[in-house]
Chain A
Amino acid sequence: DQQVKQNSPSLSVQEGRISILNCDYTNSMFDYFLWYKKYPAEGPTFLISISSIKDKNEDGRFTVFLNKSAKHLSLHIVPSQPGDSAVYFCAARGGVMGGSQGNLIFGKGTKLSVKP
C-alpha cells in the first residue's frame, strides 16, 4: 500500500526548459511535504518543502505546488540544468507529536535527465 506515489520512473528534458516532477499521496493526514534530490553514492539532499497550509513555495529555480483536494504535489525546476540530473524523491510526513518529527513516507523516485 503505497501512500506516496511517483508514477513516472524517469523524465528527460532539454537544458533551459522546465522540469515538472509529480507526486500523489493518499493520506489526508499528511501535513508536511518535502522534495529531495539524490546522486549515486550520496544521501538524499533536501531541496524544498511545503506545509499543508500553503499551496505554493518557491526557492530560486525550484517551486513546489500543493493541491490538497487532489492530493497532488509537483516540483517545477526552471530553467533546468544538466547538474539537475539526479533521482528526485517526494516525501510526506504525518502530524508532529510532542518532540517527534514523525516519519517520512517516500515515493520511489523519478530519475531526471537534463540534456545539454
Chain B
Amino acid sequence: KAGVTQTPRYLIKTRGQQVTLSCSPISGHRSVSWYQQTPGQGLQFLFEYFSETQRNKGNFPGRFSGRQFSNSRSEMNVSTLELGDSALYLCASSLALGNSPLHFGNGTRLTVT
C-alpha cells in the first residue's frame, strides 16, 4: 500500500508570492491533516479535512488555507509568503475511525527568500 505522497519535495519562493502544496493520502484514508515543522516551534497543527470539509484549524493566519477533494486528496495554499513561512510542511492521513493514528508523508520543504 502506497504511503502519503506529497509534492513537490522542495520549493523555493520569494516573499509576496503564493504557493500550493499537494498531498495524496493513503488509499482508504478519509482524513487529511497538515502540519508545519520549524526548528523553533516544532510540529504545529495547521488544519484538518474530512469529507471535503475543514473540521479543525490551528492557530495560523488566514494566509494559510486548504481544501480537500472528493477523492480525499488535499492541497494547502499559502498566500503573500513571508520569510517566516520557511518550514517543512507535512501532510498526514488517517482512517478517521476512533483512535486512528496519523500517517505522515515526507513533507515539502519550502524556502522563502
Contact = CB atoms under 8 A, between A and B. Distances in A.
Interface of A: 32, 34, 36, 41-46, 49, 51, 89, 91, 96-109
A101 B104 contact: no
A4 to B, nearest CB: 9
Contact of A104 (B45, B50, B55, B107): B45
A5 B73 CA distance: 32
B42 A43 contact: no
B101 interface: yes
A44 B90 contact: yes
Given A99-B31, A100-B55, A101-B31, A106 B43 contact: yes
Contact of A89 (B43, B56, B94): B43
A89 B35 CA distance: 14
Nearest to B93: A101
